[in-house]
Amino acid sequence: MKTKMITFMFWVLCFDLAVGKECTNTPTELSSHTFRYQLLNSNNKTLKQQVLLNHHDHLTPTDDSAWASLLHRKVLKQEDEFGWMMMYRQMKNQRGKSSISGRFLNEVGLGNVRLDPDSNHGQAQQTNLDYLLMLDVDRLVWSFRKTAGLPTPGAAYGGWESPDQELRGHFVGHYLSATAQMWASTGNDNLREKMTTVVSILGDCQEQMSNGYLSAFPSEFFDRFEAVQPVWAPYYTIHKIMAGLVDQYVLAGNNQALKIVTQMADYFCKRVQNVIKQYTIERHWRSLNEETGGMNDVMYRLYTITGDSKHLLLAHLFDKPCFLGLLAIKADELSGFHSNTHIPIVVGSQMRYEVTGDPLYKEISMFFMDIVNSSHMYATGGTSVSEFWSEPKRLATTLQTENEESCTTYNMLKVSRNLFRWTKEIAYADYYERALTNGVLSIQRGKEPGIMIYMLPLGPGKSKATGYHKWGTKFDSFWCCYGTGIESFSKLGDSIYFEEAGKDPGLYIIQYISSSVNWKSGQIVLDQKVMPVVSWDPRLRVTTTFSSNKEGISSTLNFRIPFWTTSNAKVTLNGQGIPLTSVGSFLTVTKKWSLSDVITLELPITLRMEAIEDERSEYASLHAILFGPYLLVGLSTDDSDLKPDSDSISDWITSIPSDYNSHLISLSQETGKSTIALAHTTNTITTVKLPDPGTRMVRLESESQKGCFVYSFNETVKLGCDSGGSDSGFLAGTSFKMMDGISNYSPISFIAKGLNRNYLLQPLFSLRDEHYTVYFKVS
């Protein structure tokens, strides 16, 4: 209990020193989900009162005043002031124009893509499917039934889904989205039955309440919200539930889900209109627009399905002028904003662009992506520290355990894929690959279903198993990042292939992930086989083959040539070389495809260093090391000094051959009912419980250890020391059995020469509990 209180006070101090930007009615430190959860579960009544009650009058300005306050920032001529406000009011009063989505690339639906089960992505998907199937329907909907006054069999889940948590129900929304995506990706019948049952029960709950309302908490939460009283983000939770229902309709064809979500939308349309009528211009609806997350996004999506103009109006009421306005005038003032509740607002603004065609919203999201990439992005592709954006180009002093909230990576992928669909710019596809490979694949604990992380540590010598949150648990965490996590691993196939309609249809292959796609427009089935990448043969090899039940038509395949490869890349069609386009563009091949056609790509992968995004001279030496799209981290607990002895990075960072795995051994000993092993900890050889397979232990080197030495006889290893005696107990206690290594080197492993020692480098996504360093001091 003492440790928990110290940790909680640490969070209090952090947010007291650096609170979020004032763009909501919420006390700004409460924007943090972590802080809010700790506060609501604290026994410190005085602190609760101080934080919650003393800040209840924190209000934001109205739409018009927020927009007008940006006038001086835009540096307009005086005569342009009228035009500035007219532009805003025209934008505000749009009621929907013809959709411009016909100009965009369309994703190939998840139902037409299948991942190779043996690939990293296929295994991650299967691990997630196992978890979704573990979850119990009655426990998931317990609080919904309770709120509706229906019988509640079973027991509610714990963590953020506990009946006493104000955010309860949010994970169920994510579950609806994730199961719809996973069913489309796999066709698993057991999963379809579970998710259909959840939708049916939610329908029963809504019918019982009779007014269209549906939630795991009572509508009184919105009474508190509208009275500007403390409550934990009810609209954030509602938007998750509504988004899940929309996904159940769009991806799984569940008409009941559409009926439920439409009734919910109608309920909130009436409620919000009533609220607006009750407030003066000084206390406009905007003053209540708290942690709404992607409420604007889900309402724009619903509008595209229903065409109901009131859904479009409600969507716009959840846009934030005090945030989007800054982006509209191209001001990088992200620092201090809560990342995960503002990135979805950008996603919503992207949907508004697609619905209305207003180019301002396109510019907003393009500028947002540019400043995140140039000033707020870690080498993983992630952003945020302790849930917030920090100062631009000042990332060196933010490296710790609480970096890169997983939710932010999930949402940034949405922003980047939309921008790619609009522009076909390969940089957005490159970013997607970086964030997916290093940010998403890194949050699962191997193949253990339901074990994920909230934050991805990026500080020197950190571990996914340490820090404030550590690894979550299957049934008692349910953080926001558990929700986005189960979605991320359910839709791994949604951004591999995009199609372009037309007389000669085109397919864009933007991610190299072993998979097959049924491309109906092109009347072919394409199979993409990616050979596993290894460090000792630095090339990405992709083979594309075809099958079809119809007579082929002329169509175009566009292959991404990523920025990380070289001009020595090779592409062949049926064994004949194809002239290669430049790096950072698409290779285009057009023909009538047949069963005999084979396209092969061989893309050289190079090592490179990337400086941390920090313009201060004292941090100029901090660099991350990447191998193509893979972020390499060094196994280390504290030191992080590299000493290159050559200008060529390949001279001092060398690959580990595959046969080196035979050099790895473990030394174990049976003691009663358990097995112990030798481990190296803080320059000392100690005994530990034999870890599970897949856990890395530092190899015991054949060097003397302060009077001790190691020698072997057949398969028995002796640890000899100057003990002053040779009794049988001592000899038995220092005898160990030689076994194969508990784990092998990752196929992508390197040795880097350091100032004081060498470092083992391997991909971040391959680690579980090991301590590692992302940014090295390169001198």
Please identify which residue in the block is written with the tokens 């924190």.
58
Q: To 10 degrees, the CA torsion angle through 237, 240, 245, 251?
A: -170
Domain boundaries, the chain: 120-153+166-318, 497-531+539-604, 608-777
Q: List phi, psi (to 5°) of 528.
A: -105, 115
Contact in structure between 687 and 694 (CB atoms under 8 Å) = no
Give ∠ CA 29-774-126 in degrees, rounded to 5: 85
**Quick check: 465 pLDDT over 50?**
yes
pLDDT at 313: 87
Nearest-angstrom CA–CA distance, 619 and 742: 38
Least confident segment among 215-219, 372-376, 583-587, 680-684: 680-684
C-alpha closest to that of 746 among 463, 532, 512, 464:
532
Contact in structure between 137 and 201 (CB atoms under 8 Å) = yes
Section 92-111 average pLDDT: 74
Going by C-beta distance under 8 Å and a sequence separation of 6 or more, which residues neighbour residue 673?
none
- Helix axis angle, 309-317 to 255-278, nearest 10°: 60
pLDDT at 151: 98
Half-sphere exposure of 467 (CA within 13 A, CB side): 30
pLDDT at 231: 86
- Transcribe 507-567 into DSSP letters: EEE-S--SEEEEETTTTEEEEEEEPPPBTTB-EEEEEEEEE-SS---EEEEEEEE-TTS-T
Q: pTM to 2 decimals?
A: 0.87
Nearest-angstrom CA–CA distance, 168 and 161: 4
- At 128-161, the pLDDT tens digits run 999 999 999 999 999 999 999 999 999 999 999 9
pLDDT at 504: 85
- In this structure, how many other beta carbons lie within 10 angstroms of the beta carbon of residue 58? 16
pLDDT at 59: 38
Burial of 616 (0-12, 13-18, 19+ CB in 10 A): exposed
**Quick check: 120 pLDDT over 90?**
yes
Architecture of domain 497-531+539-604: Sandwich (2.60)
- At 498-514, the pLDDT tens digits run 999 888 899 999 999 99
pLDDT at 683: 55
- At 662-686, the pLDDT tens digits run 767 666 777 777 777 766 555 566 6
Q: List phi, psi (to 5°) of 751.
A: -115, 125
C-alpha closest to that of 480 among 173, 257, 199:
173
Nearest-angstrom CA–CA distance, 475 and 495: 30
Task: Give the pLDDT band (50/70/90) at residue 32.
Answer: confident
pLDDT at 212: 97
Percent of the chain with pLDDT over 70: 77
pLDDT at 155: 97
Going by C-beta distance under 8 Å and a sequence separation of 6 or more, which residues neighbour residue 356?
94, 96, 97
Residue 253 φ/ψ region, left for φ over 0, alpha for ψ in the -120 to 50 degree band, beta for the rest = left
Task: Give the pLDDT band (50/70/90) at residue 248.
Answer: very high
The first and second tokens of residue 293, run together, are 């997350």
pLDDT at 415: 98
pLDDT at 3: 45
**Quick check: 689 pLDDT over 90?**
no
Top pLDDT among 272 and 562 is at: 562
| Average predicted confidence (pLDDT) for the chain | 84
The first and second tokens of residue 97, run together, are 């124009």
Q: List phi, psi (to 5°) of 339.
A: -65, -50
**Quick check: 432 pLDDT over 60?**
yes
pLDDT at 679: 67
Least confident segment among 53-67, 130-144, 198-212, 543-557: 53-67
Section 71-86 average pLDDT: 52
Burial of 562 (0-12, 13-18, 19+ CB in 10 A): buried
Task: Give the pLDDT band (50/70/90) at residue 56.
Answer: very low
- At 156-175, the pLDDT tens digits run 999 999 999 999 999 999 99
Buried/exposed 705-739: b ≥16 CB within 10 Å, e otherwise? eeeeebeeeeeebebeeeeeeeeeeeeeebebeeb
Section 707-715 average pLDDT: 48
Percent of the chain with pLDDT over 90: 62
Task: Give the pLDDT band (50/70/90) at residue 425.
Answer: very high
Most confident of 98-102, 199-203, 386-390, 721-725: 199-203
Rounded alpha-carbon distances, angstroms, from residue 322 to 286, 364, 732: 10, 13, 71
Section 702-709 average pLDDT: 42
- In this structure, how many other beta carbons lie within 10 angstroms of the beta carbon of residue 779? 9
**Quick check: 88 pLDDT over 80?**
no
Task: Give the pLDDT band (50/70/90) at residue 716.
Answer: low
Section 523-528 average pLDDT: 95
